[in-house]
Structure 1
């Protein structure tokens, strides 16, 4: 499971409408090299947290949309070499597309050396590509014109404030639909409230660390130290108040030490470097080896420890009883418990490395769980009597953690496999190995197998039976991942393994399905889309079909290279209720804003005066004109009969429940309009 503990409370924030976004700022200039040769130079500056994709992707089948420079009349140009890139260019693994991509962040420049035949003719063209952040992707087109005749050795800079205007001979298209534009600000629904989104990432990172700290407490390196340390504080203190104070200071010192480690890691490597490490194929292969080493240590085949001189020195510094002394006592705990806590900390840090402050947050959660018992038992020493006695059960905790480490090791090997296109650790093999691991854990908890430090299991406690039952139940749950999903005709995706297991479609034996041939003949844009859903890739065709069958339309502004579009499809649309509604109650119209299929002729938008070269340009312009947004994904339910919006449009949100409510409200509003009851309640 992605996280063993989801949350105890939720953190909300209001999601503002993104509007028209322009996170990439382009400029271009031309520099004269000699009488015939020139440099065409393009520069881009990207807003914080946004990135675009290099022209040169290592994987020729990469699903992302790279930068591409197109020249409208190349007969006057002879290209010398390729367009060179420089700037903040990084190779990272994209966990959604399961491939390594070459990404540009912050800024970059592109230089193309050319030989010009006739310098009196300007060079015109356009750049296309996409820019993405963690929430959305946007098509990023840019028109350019180079005036060769006026070129100098330093170059004349032109910015992206270019505009294009059509002539009388150009084909134009009116993208505006007045009913869509009007209802966008005055939506017909009465069942929605202002949209909220659960901000999960930092909260889950904290609880992941907190859970790791709770597990560390149960290991033989930490658990026996709780009564010893608390007894030391209560007996060496002058009164109860000072004992409580020392216990709390000890706990705060533990928190300060581990949070300091998290901040130090971020400051040394930087958030971007940590993210690159967590997604790089070689780093993930190293993590796989490290986690296997950790697992074998937990199984008892050897012990990983820090030098004993470290603990000796910190222990000596901690004996003076002062605040500094208490701090060094906490530091001693961190050192002597490393053989048990090290693998847990390593796991937590790797899982949190995609966030700027993730390491500090996860270490705070870990340290808080570790520190709480010392503070609480110092305040209420009588509670010590309720603690279970140390014994062989603590070694059982370590062995169980060893099985979990091996399971996580396979996750990292899976990332390397998909990144490097080895293709050997596909869905079936990964799930089979996980089933074997958790079946082995169940056998261990039942006493059927033993490890080096295990003593003979004379009887099984109720708690051990309970954990064995949970492990068996989890193993059976994993087996259901081999059931066939009748909707997608692939394996049954397990929601609790999202982000851990390879996607169900990354398999050896399950082929893709084809769509309804009769519909395809009537509506050429019809096809099978994500999760085996019927969809139309043309607005007019989709609306026409929706009128025929009397169902509302769900406009899906998407992209082949849209990260969060895939997240929605893989994690939300796969939900039983969501999938059923999309299949049976809506007509899905997916408009791909990065579709590079050329239009029959060059077209200008009447509303925006924008030059529309391909189908993607057309749908992006359609989105901007009617919905005042240019980011994907965007989901808009509309009534096909009057083309009015049923409920407020929404972008990417990770909550399945909210998406269910979104569809329910749209369907309810559509039915209310049909019966004339809207607004009568």
Structure 2
């Protein structure tokens, strides 16, 4: 009987610990990396992946750092992948041992310094930050002799899946920079189709009238160059400053202020009011521009710079949107290049005037006003996109529903159509109205998963966490601190499956919910992970009276039922 009782207690012990915390091993232990040269034309990258761990195929990236002239071919990925079912669909992963050949197309030295980027997770339900390793490979001999990564600090990069990236963020990959420049060039051309450029036409015309054809074109070219370098200077400034204040832009009050700003800009495009420099300042700039010598190339550049400062008010809102976008990149060179391209696009009609005369330009009319209205709706969409970071799902859906509803009203969805063009506009308006109603129904009616998601307070530093802990202690509230990242599949499953559970939400209703977003994998993120001894997200810490309940720490994904048991234990210990 004693043996039966012992076996029964042993069974219960095993079952109760089925969701016990597993302390993650280090990333270097989970994914031991080395490299060698097969010959002077092929390098072999090798990973010894610990049992129970895996690397994502989608997250490999390799860069030849030295020599910079080296050209690598596409990696030859082995076919022995495993299909992993995740919340984002089926993803290919590698486990066990992985040998990855990379052909060398061209190199003029005997040593290759390679940067390798990869990211992986554990089957226990947690993921490691994206890993960056630098390794030096000898191509002059000693083939098939493994080399370990260099022991140097490397700025980490963030590897995202396509579904995690914003539409704009995807353009910042190295191979998409030209596409970004082309996009800003097109944005400038779109701006040139608004009345914004009209005040510049008489200024440029007065400069080139009576000049020979070649001289007239060169004057217009330098005039547009002056415009473009003005925008480029602003782009460099916002790109540089933006890199230093990205954390600030994650604060809810900053998001609200900028969203309001974009809404105000949109309303100005709709014609409710005008945004422009004070009359005295505009007069001084205009006076200075008229004193420039119109027949010289330097004078044309100065006229372009000064004219840019007194553009029609409609250019202000799109520029604010462009500056806000550039500030998110933290890249001064990219910001300057992109805004220079936008300036060239805006000057396209002026270049046509210099080359062919004003006869080539389309007549102004209602179509220019339509473009302004379209830009206004784009700015409203940007504002909603920013607000959805801090608002509930219901509020976000309602806001998105108002956008097509407003467009439908503008297009005359409920008006009488008398001409073919009005009929086309009416049909488009009706389609947008149906889309708006669909979003409203989705927001109002309950679904199988419908329940407001938990709202976490974002924290970015130890001081912010300590402030929240002190406040919670005064209010006698327990604290949940969640370490999360967009590249962490298990974090997303915890959000979608566990935190969306109504019973879990009810149990956490009296908790103070804090979240550290490790998506950028920055030095600040790594410092926070080190401070709280976090190796991989998702990791959840519970606090009571300002101190962590270390025995209750959770590492990895946990389904709703065992998560509820864990919360109940915390409540019992209160």
What range is the shorter-chain TM-score in? 0.3 to 0.5
TM-score by length of 2: 0.45
Q: Greater share of helix residues, 1 or 2?
A: 2
- Structure number with higher relative contact order (C-alpha < 8 Å, ≥ 6 residues apart): 1
TM-score by length of 1: 0.39
